[in-house]
Amino acid sequence: MFFQLVKNTLFLAVLGLVSCQAQTNSEKQTHNTERQVSPSSTLMVGANQTQAYFNKLKGKRIGIVGNQTSVIFKENGAYTHLVDSLLVHNFNIVRVFSPEHGFRGKADAGEQVKNGMDTQTGLPIISLYGKNKKPTPAQLEGIDLLIFDIQDVGTRFYTYISTLHYVLEAAAENNIAVLVLDRPNPNGAYVDGPVLELQHKSFVGMHPIPVVHGMSIGEYAQMIIGQNWLEKGVKPELEVIPVKNYTRQDPYILPIKPSPNLPNAQAIKLYPSLCFFEGTQVNAGRGTALQFQVFGSPFLAKNYFDFSYTPKANEGAKNPKHMGQLCYGRNLSNSKIENKIQLDWLIEAYQNTADKSKFFNSFFTKLAGTAKLQSQIEAGLSPEAIRKTWKPALKAFKKMRANYLIYE
């Protein structure tokens, strides 16, 4: 192990864990407000444990890697953005770095985000999903410490962990320490899916891990370093502030949606299974109010599927797949979701599409991390037969993963 677990410290704040109430008229900026959540647990995220890390920030020039989820919760159900909280305590924040979807989490998936300036604080915001995904030496100039605080959802193709990789790598190359303020993984109770083959490495899959890895951001940061996955084996100075009173089996409902198209717990639970549709001709609910809770396509057999909808432009989906076209498929918004990747819907859609030769696109292999899954589906293998082929690599991954776990 190369990490140091922080000793338990007393802190009086109670974490709120359910959906945020509506923003008031005076709360026009996402990050510079107090917002309301309902307290329901004594679980305490890393950011809330200010007594564990505030002393580490004194005299440091700080960079924040964060977005709309980087908040400190309060006893009364309110929360404030980490940036605002640190500024109130007169810490020296030099600049802010934002991942995919931007600092406020409004940009579409895959939409390039530009650099800018925060209108409330005057801090420069550097996009790590624009011209460059890895912080440059110039962007890191004058920084002694990088704080990484972003809520993840526990899948390989959710790009916040790819941003984490590049932040760790750049920090090591520029002799900058990294402090990860950890948060729970809402899909942390299981490990599943094909393990990525390195020939299919991309920004939606950088390392040989399964689709669902069952790790927190802090645990995954330790794995990235410990497995020598950074360029030339560089190793930054890393410290993780773990979540208190948490096990990976604990259900965790995100109080703030982590990106525009994951609006609720059902979408987050379905995401590991339905995201595969992003590499096909099937729409996965973008352009509806049920993002990643429905799927459909104009090319699916309307006499087979019992649900239809028409995608329209909305927040997070300015030009959704099949916009304005009637799509046939399934509504899973009230379905009970098991802790596993569900292949039945993907196979069902493939088998009932008009032209199977046009069902998959090149992005599918990047999402799967292997060309085998598409071949298996085209060959007519059952979900059980496909899942069986994952077992050896999953067993090896779990053995390796055990070296980096913080939580039971």
Map out the domains of the chain as residue ranges. Answer: 35-258, 265-370
- How far lies 153's CA from each of 70, 164, 189, in Å? 14, 14, 12
Number of H helices, E strands in the chain: 10, 15
pLDDT of residue 112: 64
Give 327-377 pLDDT, tens digit per residue: 999 999 999 999 999 999 999 999 999 999 999 999 999 999 999 999 999
228 vs 106 pLDDT, higher one: 228
pLDDT category of residue 78 using cuts at 50, 70 and 90: confident
Choices 3.20.20.70, 3.40.50.740, 3.40.50.12170, 3.40.50.2300: CATH for 35-258: 3.40.50.12170
Radius of gyration of the CA atoms of the chain, in A: 21
Residue 389 has pLDDT above 50, yes or no: yes
- Mean pLDDT over 142-160 rounds to 97
- Tell me the DSSP string of 354-398: S-GGGTB-THHHHHHTSSHHHHHHHTT--HHHHHHHHHHHHHHHH
Q: What is the C-alpha to C-alpha distance for residues 283 and 292, in angstroms, rounded to an integer?
A: 9
Q: 3-state DSSP helix/strand/coil percent for the chain, to nearest 5?
A: 30, 20, 55
pLDDT of residue 38: 36
Sheet harboring 92-98: ordered strands across?
A: 116-117, 124-127, 92-98, 61-66, 145-149, 177-181, 238-241
- Mean pLDDT over 125-130 rounds to 92
Strands of 74-165 (E only): list them: 78-81, 92-98, 116-117, 124-127, 145-149
Cβ–Cβ under 8 Å, residues 179 and 91:
no
Helices (H), 227-360: 265-274, 344-351
- Mean pLDDT over 219-228 rounds to 98
Q: What is the C-alpha to C-alpha distance for residues 117 and 112, in angstroms, rounded to an integer?
A: 16
Which residue from 63, 49, 60 is spatially nearest to 14, judged by alpha carbons? 49
pLDDT category of residue 120 using cuts at 50, 70 and 90: confident
pLDDT category of residue 100 using cuts at 50, 70 and 90: confident
Cβ–Cβ under 8 Å, residues 199 and 146:
no
pLDDT of residue 22: 31
- Mean pLDDT over 381-385 rounds to 98
CB within 8 A of 223, min separation 6: which ones?
Answer: 215, 229, 400, 401, 403, 404
* Residue 13, Ramachandran bin (φ over 0: left; ψ between -120 and 50: alpha; else beta): beta
Cβ–Cβ under 8 Å, residues 302 and 271:
no
Total-model pTM? 0.88
Give 268-308 pLDDT, tens digit per residue: 999 999 999 999 999 999 999 999 999 999 999 999 999 99
Cα-flanking dihedrals φ and ψ of residue 385, to 5°? -65, -40
Residue 5, classed as helix, strand or coil, is strand
pLDDT of residue 378: 98
Q: What is the C-alpha to C-alpha distance for residues 193 and 350, in angstroms, rounded to an integer?
A: 19
Place of tokens 């980096």: 404
Residue 318's identity, in one-letter code, is K
